[in-house]
Chains A and B, each alone.
Chain A
Amino acid sequence: MPTITIFKDDFESLLKGTRTTHRTVSIEQVEEWLMLVKGELKGHNPDTGELRIELQDSNRPDLWCCEGIARQIRIKQQGKIAQYPFLTGKTKPKATIVVKPGMEQVRPYVAACAARGYQVTSQGLAQLIQTQEKLAEIFGHKRKTVSIGIYQLSKITFPVTYELVQPGEARFTPLGMETVMTLAEMLMVHPKGLEYGGILAGASRVPILRDAANQPLSFPPIINSREVGEVQVGDDQLFVEVTGTDLPMVVLTLNIFAANLADRGATIEPILVEYSTRTSLGKRVTTPQDLKRSKTIPIHTIEQALGQELGIKVVQQALEVYGYEVSAGKGSVRVKLPPYRQDLMHTMDVVEDVAMSRGYAEFTPVMPAQFTVGGLSRIEQVSDRARELMVGLGFQEIISNILGSPEQYSGHMRIDETEWGQMVKVDNVMTLNFSCLRQWILPSLLRIEAASSRAFYPHRLFEAGDVAIPDATHESGSRTETVLGAVIAHAAAHFSEIHSCLDTLFYYLGKEYRLEPVPHPSFLEGRAGRILIADKPVGIIGEIHPEVLERWQITMPVVAFDLNLSQLIIER
C-alpha cells in the first residue's frame, strides 16, 4: 500500500486534460473522487499544495501516481476512454534495443520508449522520480522483478544493446558520484549497489545498457550513468527503459510510464526490442504494447454477485467510464482492460470495478435473511465460567502478551532445560523480548506482580488465555491450549489459601481432582502439587520458590496455580 505525495495544481491540470482551462478543486471533492481509486487522503498542506494519498490496491500500480489517479477520475468525468495512439501499432518504431544472448540467465527482459514534446517541470520531475521509485520498490519487489531508468534522449545513439559484462570491465560515472567507477566498484561502494547488489548475487557477469557509441547508459537494476541518465527540469526529450525478470510486468510498467508522459503532453515513440530467442511476446517486441487482457462475462454473473439487476447497457456504461473497452454480446459483455492495467484474474475483479464505477452508495444494503444459530465453543464456555468464578473469588483479571522472552517464561521460573521449559521459539528474532510463545500463564501474572509492589495488597490476579505447548506428535509441532493461571501475593500468602480457591473452582466446574506432591523448580519443595483429574495431570499448584521471586525482584510471598482448561474438558 504505497503512500504518495502529489501537487494539487499539477493534479488539477492533469484532471482537465492538457487543453482545457485550469479550475481549482475542493479538498472534499478530491476525497470523494479518491473512492474511485481506493485512495485515502492522509494529509494536505495548503501552503505548498501537497496532498498525501495512500493507495490501497496492490494490483493497480497504474494508480500509484498523480497521472494515474487523475486519469481514472478524468475518464469518469468525461465519460470516454483515454486514447493512446502509440499503442495502435500504426506508429512504426524508429529505434531498436538489441538484447544479446545470455541475458535470459540474469535479467532477461527490457522494454523502452522515447517521449518528445513534454518539457519537464519541477513538479513533473518529482512525480516521475516518485513513480519510478514506488513501482520499482513495491510492484517490482525492490527492483528484483522490475526496475526503471529515465534518460536524456538527445545523448543516446541507437541501436542500444542490452548485454552482460564482467563487472570489472565496464565503467562509468554513476548518479550521485563524481568519478568513473567499474560496475564491481559500484556494487561495493555505491549506496544503491549496496542496497540492491543482492539481486545480482552469484552472477559472474552483470547487465549493462550501452548505446551505439559504446557509451554506458546504466547498470540495471542498480544505477544510471550520470552523463546520460540524469533528467533535469527543462528537458523535453526523454528515453525510458524498464528491465526485469517478468515480461508482462516489464511491459506493463513501461505502458504506465508511456501513458503518464502522454497524459502530460508528450508524443510517445515506440522502440523495437530484438531478442536472440523467442519470448512469450515473440522475438521482436515493440514496446509499449497493449497486453489486451480480456474476458467474456455473462451479465447474470455480475448481477448475481452484486445482488442487483443492472442490464447490459448499465454494465457496459459503468465499465467504459472506468476505462474498459466493452463490446456487448447476447447476455454477456466482452471486456478488455486498458493497456496500463493487467489485474484481471477472475470475473469478480470486473464485478468490483462495476460497483466502484457506479459508486458503492448506489447499492442499497440488504440484511442477510437466512437463520443461523449463534454460540460459543466448548472451551470458551468453560473459560468464561472459570473467569466468572475467579472474579467471585476476588481475583482481578489480567491480559498479557503471549509473545515474550525465554527469560520470563523459563529462566526466571528456574525451568530452563526441564520438561516444563519447552517453548515455541521464533526463528527471525527482532528482539529477545518477543522471541517465544508462552507455554504457561504464571510468568504473565508474575510480570504484573513484579511491576505492582506499590499497589495495595493483597493481590489476587488471574488470566485465562492461550498458550502454545510444544508437542512433537502434533502436525505443527505444538498445541494451542487455554490455560487459567492465578496468583495470590501478600505478606502471609499461604498454600492453603490458593488451594481453597482451586478447590472451590473445581467444585463449581463439577470436576473431581486430587493433588500429588511434585518437585517443580518454580515452587518450594514439599509445597507444590500436580493437579490430577482421573490420574491425568492438568496443572500445578504451590508456593512460588523464593529464588523465582528474587529473579523477578518480587519481595512478597506468592502462591499460585496454573490449570490447563483444554485438558480439563477432554472427555476421558
Chain B
Amino acid sequence: MDISSIIDSLHPLEIKVLMTMGARQPAAAFKSEDLAVAAELEPSQLSMAVEWLLAKGLIEIQSEIVTPVVSLTKIGEEYHQAAAPIERILAAARDAAGTGKRLTIGDLQTQPGLDPSDVSKAVGRLKKEGVLLIIQGGCIETTGRSSPTADALRPLLEEVHGSSRELTSFSPERQQLIEDYSVKRGNAKEPFRVDERVTRSFVLSPSGASAVEQLMNQGLVEEVSQLSPELLKDGSWRQKRFRKYTISLRAPRVGTGKKHPYREFLDTVKAKLVSMGFQEMRGALVETEFWNMDALFMPQFHPARDIHDVYFVKQPTHAAMADESILSKVGQVHEHGGKTGSSGWGYAFDLQRAKRLVLRSQGTAVSARTLAASPNIPGKYFSIARCFRYDQVDATHATDFFQVEGIVLGEDINFRTLLGLLNLFAHEVAQAKEVKFLPAYFPFTEPSVELHVRHPRLGWMELGGAGLFRPEVTVPLGVTAPVIAWGLGLDRMAMVALGIHDIRELFTDNLELIRTTRGLF
C-alpha cells in the first residue's frame, strides 16, 4: 500500500497521535503516558491508536522499560485496616506474659481471623528473630525483644496503602521484606503484590515521518468519520475530509420484523381464495361430536370417532345445546334416512353422544355449522382451521395442524363443476397445468374425488380431496341445493417452500431457523 492510501484509511485517533509525535522538534521518543497527555487522549483510546499504527508500520517501539511496582492486595488492605498476623500474635504473647496465662500455638490457631498457615509463618519468623520461645507443651513465651519485621511492616503498609510505589524506591532491607510478604505462585494470601509495569516509548518510523509530512501538507483539513447535524447546519463539512471505509467487510446482522414463513404461505393461500370469491368462516377449537361428526353423517360407530383418534374434553364433558331439533333431525337421518331419500345407517342414534365435547378434528366441522346457518346460495366459503388428532407425533404426523377447506353451494353445482373447481385450485394454488382426478372416499361426500397435480417443482402430488356433500349431510341442516365440500392438503407444499422435511418444524421453537428461512414460494 502506498503512503497516500494508508493516509486515507487513517482513523482520527491515529492522525491525532501521528500529528502529536510529528510536532515534537527535534524528533524524540514519547513514553506512552506522556503521549496520552500530549495528544489529549484517554489511555484506552491511545492504546487502540498505538496498536493500529504499529500494525501499519507508521510508528516503532524505541524502548520497553520494565519497572517492578508494589501495591497492597486485598489482604494487605485488611492488615492496614486492622493488624497483620505477626502483630496480633506478638500482642497476644505479650498479653499472656503480662497476665501469666498459658498460650499455646493451638490457642492462636483458634483465634478468629488467624488460620494455621498465618500462625506458623508468623511464629516461625518471631522465633528466628528471638522474640518468642516455644517451650514444653507447645507453650509460647516472649523474650521481651522487639521484632524488626513487625516494626518495619506497619510503616510499609502505611506507605504503600492507597497507591502503588516503585519497588526500587525502598531500601534493600525493606525490599527483602516486601519480597517475603508478597503474593507468589502458590501463595495468594499475602499483603503485597509486585507487578511489572511496562513502559514503552515510541518513535515515528520513516514511513510514519513521511505520513506526518504529507498530513501537514494537506493543510488544515480535518478528517472526520461521521457526518453530523452540526457539520451540516454550519456548512463546516466543506472543510472536512471523510475517512474512507473498507466497504468489502461483511455487514453486521440486523434483527428484522417479519411474518412467520408458514403463516406467510397460508396468507397467500388465503388471498388466493378471497380472490376466487370465497368468504372466510371461523369456528371454535372445542366442538361437539355433533358438528364434528354426526352432522357429517359419520355414524357414531365410525372407527375415526374412537378414543384413539379424537381428543375428548375433560370438563365439561357435554355441551348444553339449547336447540335439540337439529340433533333429532340429524339423528333420524342416521337411523333411517329421515327425509333425505336415504336408508340411513340403521342404528340407534345416541343424542347424548352427539353432545360430547371434543377438540375439533376436522375443518369440515366449520362447514357443517355454516350449512346450518342459512348460507348464501350461490355461495363459496373457506376456513383455515386448526385441528387436533390423537396421533403419535413424528416427522409426518402432527397432533395440532391447519386444515384449509370449505364449501361451494349453488344450483349449478354437480360433478363436472366440482372438477372445474378443482382445476381452478390446481392452477391458482399450485400453479399446476396438469391434473388427475382419482376416485376417493370420504364419509360425507358422494361422489368423491382426489385431486392430483403436477407441481412445477414437486412433480405429481396429491393437492386435495373433494366431493359433493351427501344429501344426508345437507338436507337436515336446511340446504337443498347441491354443495361441494373441498379440502386442500398444503403441508407438503409448505414444507418444500420452507425447505424443511419434518412437519414438526412448521411450528419450530428455533428462532434462528425462523429468522433465516426466506419463505420463497
A residues lining the B interface (CB < 8 Å): 1, 35-36, 38, 40, 56-59, 138, 141, 304-308, 344-349, 351-352, 355-356, 360-361, 363-377, 379-380, 384, 387, 390-403, 424-428, 430, 434, 437, 447-452, 454-461, 465-466, 468, 472, 475-480
Contacts and interface: CB of A to CB of B under 8 A. Distances in A.
Nearest to A400: B507
A379 B281 CA distance: 10
Nearest to A304: B414
B461 to A, nearest CB: 13
B12 interface: no
Contacts of B320: 475
A477 B286 contact: yes
Contacts of A461: 511
B423 interface: yes
A141 B515 contact: no
Interface in B240-282: 253, 255-260, 262-263, 267, 270, 273-282
A454 B314 CA distance: 39
A305 B446 CA distance: 10
Given A345-B472, A374-B279, 18 more contacts: A38-B440, A56-B441, A348-B446, A365-B416, A367-B424, A370-B412, A377-B281, A397-B263, A398-B260, A399-B507, A403-B399, A425-B313, A447-B509, A451-B509, A476-B284, A476-B288, A477-B316, A480-B284
Given A56-B441, A348-B447, A373-B277, A468 B342 contact: no
Contacts of A425: 313-315
A376 B280 contact: yes
15 contacts: A38-B439, A344-B343, A347-B341, A352-B447, A356-B447, A365-B416, A368-B408, A396-B257, A396-B260, A403-B400, A427-B314, A427-B317, A428-B312, A455-B512, A477-B313
B516 to A, nearest CB: 10
Contacts of A370: 378, 410-412
B480 to A, nearest CB: 13
A428 B420 contact: no
B419 A365 contact: yes
B276 A374 contact: yes
Contacts of A390: 257
A370 B303 CA distance: 38
Nearest to B509: A451
A544 B22 CA distance: 57
Contacts of A451: 509-511
B126 interface: no
B14 interface: no
B422 A365 contact: yes
B489 interface: no
B313 A396 contact: no
Nearest 4 CB-CB pairings of A with B: A307-B414, A452-B511, A307-B416, A352-B447
B285 A466 contact: yes
Contacts of B376: 372
Contacts of A360: 419, 437-439, 449
B419 A366 contact: yes
Interface in B313-352: 313-317, 319-322, 337, 340-345
B456 interface: no
Nearest to A457: B255
Contacts of B267: 384
A369 B470 contact: no
Contacts of A364: 416, 419
Contacts of B415: 305-308, 351, 355, 363
Interface string B272-314: 0111111111111111100000000000010100010001111
Contacts of B258: 391, 396-397
B79 to A, nearest CB: 39
A356 B270 CA distance: 32
Contacts of A456: 253, 255
